[in-house]
Amino acid sequence: MKVIDPCTLVLFGASGNLSRIKLMPGLFRLDQAGRLPEKMAILSVGRGQVSREDWLKDIKGMLDAKFPKGYDQNVFNRFIERNHYHANPPEDANAFQRLKETLADEKVFPQNLAYFLSVRPSDFADVVDKLAAVGLTKEDKYWRRVVIEKPFGTDLASAKELQASISKHLKESQIYRIDHYLGKSALMNIMLQRFTNAVLDPIWNNQYIDHVQITNTEMLGVGERTQFYDATGALRDMIQSHILQTMALTAMEMPKELTPDAIRAEKIKVLEAIRPIPVNEIDQYAFRAQYAAGEIKGEKVPGYLEELGDNSSVVETYAALKLFIDNPRWKGVPFYIRTAKRLHEADTRISIRFKKAPLQIGDGQDQNWLMLGIQPRECIKLEIQSKIPGLDIKTRTIQLDAANRQDGDESIDAYEALLLNLMEGDNSLYLHINEVEAQWRLVDPVIETWAKNRKPVHQYPAGSTDPEASKVIFEHEDQFWRYSIELGGDEK
């Protein structure tokens, strides 16, 4: 267990949903687990004037909602004493000077400061500017760290602009670009399963692997986020961040050591080695669609355009890309990545199909698959061929199935892991600027090309499987979208 310096977490946007649902409960759970340093304070920053007494009552309400079965009163008493509130009215020109004066009380606030910016993306640079203007980003005697929530820009140009603005005041080591997906236990497990098992590494290359699929599908629609989603789309929302990070962990080389810098260096190498998608052949590399009216679990649901109230939208709720990594390990292996809303199942997984076995018995013998389940079930499954008992020489597919999560295992929310990493100074699960830029550089040409093409987008009924037309990106006719990791849950 790492020793954490005494510190103060300054939480901007403390009254927002992220704070109420994830951050405050996550910090409480870390305190419950004994992972917060004894001398650690939380200063919540909000726009309105709120007394400390009222704020502590509000925090109790957050915890009551998150833990309806109750919680340890002693832990609660300890946690509540850590909490303080500071009003930062937007019209107050001296708000950040007053914040500095509040934080200067060393008896209450340890001087190592972590700022969590749970604010609008358009406010990221402004908050950093104002912190710097009053000297709250300087690391003369103590460390200063700034967490910036997703998204970091909306394209490569805006990401570079934001980086230029905040890097005037902060070193790269001070900037923690959060992608909460990287805090998921199952995602962190990808690297460990690969590199701590001698059976996997020799076959983790283009000599044995036919292709790799990285999938994130949901049964939910866009809900009340129609305007946000129509300005974002599936490519920006999921592929540019979560799915490309999953791909990097799947494809990276083993780091020289398990340090934050070494791990991020290998991810950066993978992301920068992904071949740019040729825009003049985009239809063979990228596919998009929108969900139409359909049925989910027996309930009729409207289509995306109906929910939006605008039939002219060409924003995708389904996006699939074919990518290649131009390095010796992965040369020629297609990576098919996809995300979708309102599909027939909710599943996040990595599916790896191996090449045909040297011995083929009969027509249509299944190929081996290795599947890493991320959610809802954390597991690893291997499908192999086995002889069917009897007089004839016939085989069938059997599964070796192991759950990563077992009874009694600790359940950790992604934000809990990332908050702990922040206080420890471990940024391996936070994004380096080179990762951010490489991801935007890859998807920007597709986003721009799709935005210019105003033809109606392919429709798929809500609750259906992948659109048949999406198979246009496959390299070979015998490739297909792998569905549930249950045996027989694939499509041929």
Neighbours of 108 (CB within 10 A): 13
Residue 123: predicted pLDDT: 94
Query: Which pLDDT score is estimated for 485?
Result: 56
In this structure, are 140 and 229 located in the same domain?
no
C-alpha 98/C-alpha 134 separation (Å) is: 10
> Six-digit token pair at 288?
């998009």
Q: How many Å apart are CA 412 and CA 299, to the nearest integer?
A: 33
Is residue 115 in a domain? yes
102 shares its domain with 229: no
Residues 135 and 209 in one domain: no
* Domain region containing 86: 7-149
User: Are residue 144 and residue 229 in the same domain, yes or no?
Assistant: no
Q: Tell which of 133, 149, 165 closes a domain.
A: 149
Average pLDDT along the chain:
93
Does any domain span residue 320?
Answer: yes
483 compared with 35, residue with greater pLDDT: 35
| Residues 290 and 377 grouped into a single domain | yes
Same domain, 236 and 350: yes
The answer as to whether 162 is a domain residue is no
Say which CATH number the domain at 198 has. Answer: 3.30.360.10
Same domain, 223 and 126: no
Kindly state the tokens that stand for 317: 């709720």
Residue 268 to residues 113, 353, 380, 399, 430, Cα–Cα distance (Å): 28, 25, 26, 34, 12
- Percent of the chain past pLDDT 70, that is, above it, reads 98
Q: What digits encode the pLDDT tens for the residues 284-319?
A: 999 999 999 999 999 999 999 999 999 999 999 999
Residue 176 in domain: no
Does residue 489 form part of some domain? no
Query: Sign (positive/negative) of CA torsion 57, 59, 65, 71?
Result: negative
For the cut 60, the answer to whether the pLDDT of residue 186 exceeds it is yes
CATH number of the domain bearing residue 95: 3.40.50.720
Residues 84 and 205 in one domain: no
Residues 255 and 376 in one domain: yes
pLDDT tens digits, one per residue of 11-33: 999 989 999 999 999 999 999 99
Tell me, yes or no, whether 412 lies in a domain.
Answer: yes
Domain boundary among 108, 130, 149: 149
Pair of tokens at residue 24: 């405050």
In terms of domains, do 25 and 145 share one?
A: yes
Tell whether 450 is covered by a domain. Answer: yes
119 lies in the same domain as 219 = no
Q: Tell me the whole-structure pTM to 2 decimals.
A: 0.92
Domain count, the chain: 2
Same domain membership, residue 341 and residue 439: yes
Phi and psi of 261, rounded to 5°? -65, -40
Which tokens hold the place of 326? Answer: 């131009």
Is the model's pLDDT at 437 over the cut of 60?
Answer: yes
Q: Indicate which residue of 86, 211, 242, 344 is catalytic.
A: 242
One-letter-per-residue 3-state SS of 102-128:
HHCCCCCCCCCEEEEECCCHHHHHHHH
Is it the case that residue 118 has pLDDT exceeding 90? yes
pLDDT of residue 489: 42
Is residue 423 a part of any domain in this protein?
yes
Mean local confidence (pLDDT), 69-84: 95
Q: Has 86 been annotated as catalytic?
A: no
